[in-house]
Amino acid sequence: MNFFKHIIIAIAIINLTSNNIQAQVREKSWRSIIYNQDTTWFATQEAKAIAENVLLYQRNIGGWPKNIQMQKPLTAQEKLQLEKLKASTEDVTTDNGATTQEMLFLSKMYKATSNEAYKNAFLLGLNYILEAQYDSGGWPQFYPLKKGYYTHITYNDDSMVNILNLLKDLKDNTGKYAVNPSNETIKKIEIAFSKGIDCILKTQYKQNGVLTVWCAQHDEVTLEPAKARAYELPSLSGSESAGIVLLLMDLEKPSEAIKTAINSAVAWFEKVKLTGIKQVWELDEQTKKRNKVIVKDENANPLWARFMELENNTPFFCDRDGVKKYALNEIGYERRNGYGWYTENPSKVLERYPKWKAKYDVAVKEKKSPKDEYNMVVAKDGSGDFTTIQEAIYAAKSFPYQRVIINIKNGVYNEKVHVYSWNTYVSLIGESKENTIITFDDYFDKINLGRNSTFHTSTVLVEGDDFIAKNLTIKNTAGAVGQAVALSVNANRCYFENCTFLGNQDTVYTAGEGFKQYFKNCYIEGTTDFIFGEATVLFESCIIHNKSNSYITAASTPKGQQFGYVFKNCKLTADENVDEAYLGRPWRLYAKTVFINCEMGKHIKPEGWHNWSKKEAENSTFYAEYNCIGEGYKPEKRVKWSHQLKKREANKYTEEHILQSNSNNSKIKWYQNL
C-alpha cells in the first residue's frame, strides 16, 4: 500500500506542477507567447491548445480581429460563438499587430509539429494580406474596407511595416517563417512588396519642397497626410516614421530614391529631436492617480513628438475634441495619460544610420563610369550602370556627336526625370512598355509656386533636342487633383514610339513655338485638356482615351504657324461612363487641330469643338476633320466654324510637310529610320 501511495502522491505533484506551468504561460501576454524563444515549447500540448484558439479566431477570409488574448481558455459556448463568426468579415484587420503576429505563431507551430492545419491557416492569412493591398501599394487598416478613416493607408502602430517585413522575410527566404509559399505566390509577394515600397516613397511628405517623413495615415487616393480619430490629425509622425526608415535600411541594393528617402528622414529626425526634457509619471496628490508630465533633464535621451505640424514641425497634442494644443498639460487627463505622445524610436534609426551610410550611400561622383558612355543601362536591381534614369542622364555627354542610348530595364522608377537642353540626341529605350514605368506624383497645389505651377509638375521633362523614347510608360500618379503633367516636351525633333502616357488633367504638354514632335503607336489618356501646347505635333496610329466628360486637346498654336496638332489614323476611346467629350478647345486664339482618318467613339459630342467662351476664337482657330469614321464622327452636326477638309486639302497633311525641320543635316529627315 505504501508503494501505491507514493505513486499517487508523485502523480499529484506532477499534475500540480504541470498546472502551475500552464497557469504561468496562460497568464503571459499573447505577444510574449508569440515571441517565446523556447522553440521546444511550441510542440507541447499547451501550445497546441492555444493554437486551436488561434485557428478558431481566424475568419474564413484569412485575417484576425485585433487585441485578442488568444491564449485565454475558451468555454464551449465561446468556441461555438467563434465558429458562427467564421464567415464574418467584420473587424478583420492588420492593426495593432493583428494577423501578422498570429501568422508568426502558426509558423512556429508548424515548424514544431508539421501539422498541415497550421500551414494552411498561415497561407490563408497570407492570401488575405495580398488581397487587401491597394493598387497604390498601401494597405487599409481594415479589410474588407470599413467606413471612415479605416480606409486610409495606415502606417499607424507599424501596421504596414509589419506586413512588408513579413513579405520581405518570405520572398528573401530568411528562415524566419517555416512555411514556404509556392513559386507563384512568391511572385505575387515580390510584386506586392515592390508596390509597398513605392507607396512609401510616394507618401514621404515634402515640406516646402524638402522631403521629411510620413504621417500615421495617408489618403488612399491622393496619398496626402490624412486624419484618423479626432485626436489624430494630419501631421508628421516621429514614431511610425522610424519603423518605416528601419525597414528601408534593411533593403539590399537600395535605389537612389530609397537612399534619398532615408537620408531625408534622418536629416529630419536630427532637426526635430527634443533634448533636455523627459517624460515621467508623478502621483497626483488630489486624485491619487498617476499623471504623465514633462520635466527638464539635460542628461535625458532625445525624444520625438508623436505628432508634428506639417508646415513647421511644431509638436502638438490633441484631446477628443480635436482641438490642437501645444503643451501636454493642456489636454485632459484621459488622453494625456492614455496615449503615447512621445517616442524614442528614431534613436534606433540614428544608431544604425552611420553603418548604413558607409555601406550604401556612396556619392554619385565616386561611382564607376558606365562601360559605354553612348550605350548605358539603367536597372533597379543594380545589374546595370545606374539604378535611376536621372543618374544616367547626369552621366550623358553634353551636345554629343553621336546618339546617347539609355536602356531601361523593367521596373517602376519613382523619380522626376529631366533631360536638360544640353542633353541632345538622348534615347530612353524601355525593356517593355508594360513594365518599364516612370512615375511621380507632383500636381499644381502640391508644387504651389503660383499661377504657373502646372509646368513644374511633369514626371518627365524633355528639353534636349532630338530626343527619342520607346517602349515605356510615363505616369503622373497624383490622381484627379487638378493639373498634373506626365510628359512635358519643350524641345525640337522629338519622337515617341510604343509609349504609354497616363494621367488626368494636362497629361502631355507639347511646348516650343516652331518645334516639331512625333508620337507613333502611343496610348495617351486623361480627363481635361490632356494634350496641350504650342508645338507642331503629329500623332499617328495612337489611342487617345478620355477618362471623363471634358476636352481632349487644348492647342496654343502660335499665329502664322502652318500646323498645330494633327491626328492621323488614331482611335478615340473612353471609359464607359464618358459620353460628352469635345475634340478640342483653344488655349490660345490661333489653335490648330486636325483629325484625319480617325475612328471616333460615341463619346465625342456631335458639335465636336468648343470655343472656350472666346467668341473671337471662332474666327481665328482652325479645327478640321477628314474621312473619319465611328459613332462620334458626325460632320453634319459639327459647329459651323469648324472645317471638313476636301481631299486636296487633306493631301498636304503628309509626314514630310508636317514634320520638316531645319535639322543640322538637311540631307537626313529626322523623323525617318527612328
Give dist(CA 427, CA 375) in Å, integer.
Answer: 9
Return the sign of the alpha-carbon dihedral for residues 204, 501, 374, 399: negative
Q: Where a domain ends, among 203, 227, 250?
A: 203
∠ CA 662-668-669 to the nearest 5 degrees?
A: 65
Q: Is residue 455 part of a domain?
A: no
> What local confidence, expressed as pLDDT, does residue 496 receive?
98
> What local confidence, expressed as pLDDT, does residue 11 receive?
39
Asked if 225 and 357 sit in the same domain, the reply is yes
Residue 499, number of CB atoms within 10 A of its CB: 24
Q: What is the CATH number of the domain that holds 573?
A: 2.160.20.10
Asked if 272 and 184 sit in the same domain, the reply is no
Q: At what angle do helices 240-249 and 159-171 cross, to 10 degrees?
A: 20
> What local confidence, expressed as pLDDT, does residue 130 receive?
98
Q: What share of the chain is helix, strand, coil (3-state, %, to 5)?
A: 30, 20, 45
pLDDT 10s digits, 468-487: 999 999 999 999 999 999 99
Q: Provide the Cα torsion 417, 423, 424, 429; round to 10°.
A: -40
Residue type, 152: H
Q: Is residue 307 part of a domain?
A: yes
Which helix (H) or strand (E) is 393 found in, with range?
helix 389-395
Q: Is residue 467 part of a domain?
A: no
- Give me the residue label for grid cell 469648324: 642
Asked if 135 and 52 sit in the same domain, the reply is yes
pLDDT 10s digits, 50-82: 999 999 999 999 999 999 999 999 999 999 999
Asked if 563 and 653 sit in the same domain, the reply is yes
Q: Where a domain ends, among 176, 203, 230?
A: 203
- Tallying the residues shown for the chain, one arrives at 674
Give dist(CA 576, CA 660) in Å, integer.
Answer: 39
Among 219, 385, 465, 506, the active-site one is 506
Q: What is the CATH number of the domain that holds 291?
A: 1.50.10.20
Asked if 262 and 302 sit in the same domain, the reply is yes
pLDDT 10s digits, 303-342: 999 999 999 999 999 999 999 999 999 999 899 998 999 9
- Cis-peptide, bond into residue 586, ω within 30° of zero: no
Question: What confidence tier does 674 reach under pLDDT thresholds 50, 70, 90?
Answer: confident
328: nearest Cα among 290, 293, 355, 295: 293
Asked if 251 and 151 sit in the same domain, the reply is no
Full residue range of the structural domain in which residue 244 is found: 218-361
Asked whether the predicted pLDDT for residue 12 surpasses 80, the reply is no
pTM over 0.85: no
For residue 219, indicate whether it is catalytic.
Answer: no
pLDDT 10s digits, 369-402: 788 999 999 998 888 999 999 999 999 999 999 9
List, in order, residues 6 or more apart from 200 with CB less than 8 Å away: 137, 160, 214, 244, 247, 248, 261
Asked if 199 and 224 sit in the same domain, the reply is no
Residue 247, number of CB atoms within 10 A of its CB: 19
Q: Where a domain ends, among 170, 203, 236?
A: 203
Give dist(CA 468, CA 462) in Å, integer.
Answer: 10
Asked if 575 and 656 sit in the same domain, the reply is yes
Q: Is residue 457 part of a domain?
A: no
pLDDT 10s digits, 563-608: 999 999 999 999 999 999 999 999 999 999 999 999 999 999 999 9
Q: Is residue 443 part of a domain?
A: no
List, in order, residues 6 or more apart from 656 with CB less than 8 Å away: 669
Give dist(CA 578, CA 605) in Å, integer.
Answer: 10
507: nearest Cα among 557, 467, 542, 464: 542
Which helix (H) or strand (E) is 271 found in, with range?
helix 256-272
For residue 506, indicate whether it is catalytic.
Answer: yes
Counting the structural domains of the chain, the total is 3
Among 219, 529, 575, 579, the active-site one is 529
Q: 358 with 352: CB under 8 angstroms?
A: no
List, in order, residues 6 or more apart from 478 with CB less than 8 Å away: 222, 441, 442, 443, 446, 457, 484, 503, 504
Asked if 139 and 230 sit in the same domain, the reply is no
Asked if 577 and 614 sit in the same domain, the reply is yes
Asked if 156 and 268 sit in the same domain, the reply is no
Asked if 151 and 288 sit in the same domain, the reply is no
Average pLDDT, the chain: 92
Q: Is residue 389 part of a domain?
A: no
418: nearest Cα among 440, 445, 450, 448: 440
Asked whether the predicted pLDDT for residue 16 surpasses 70, the reply is no
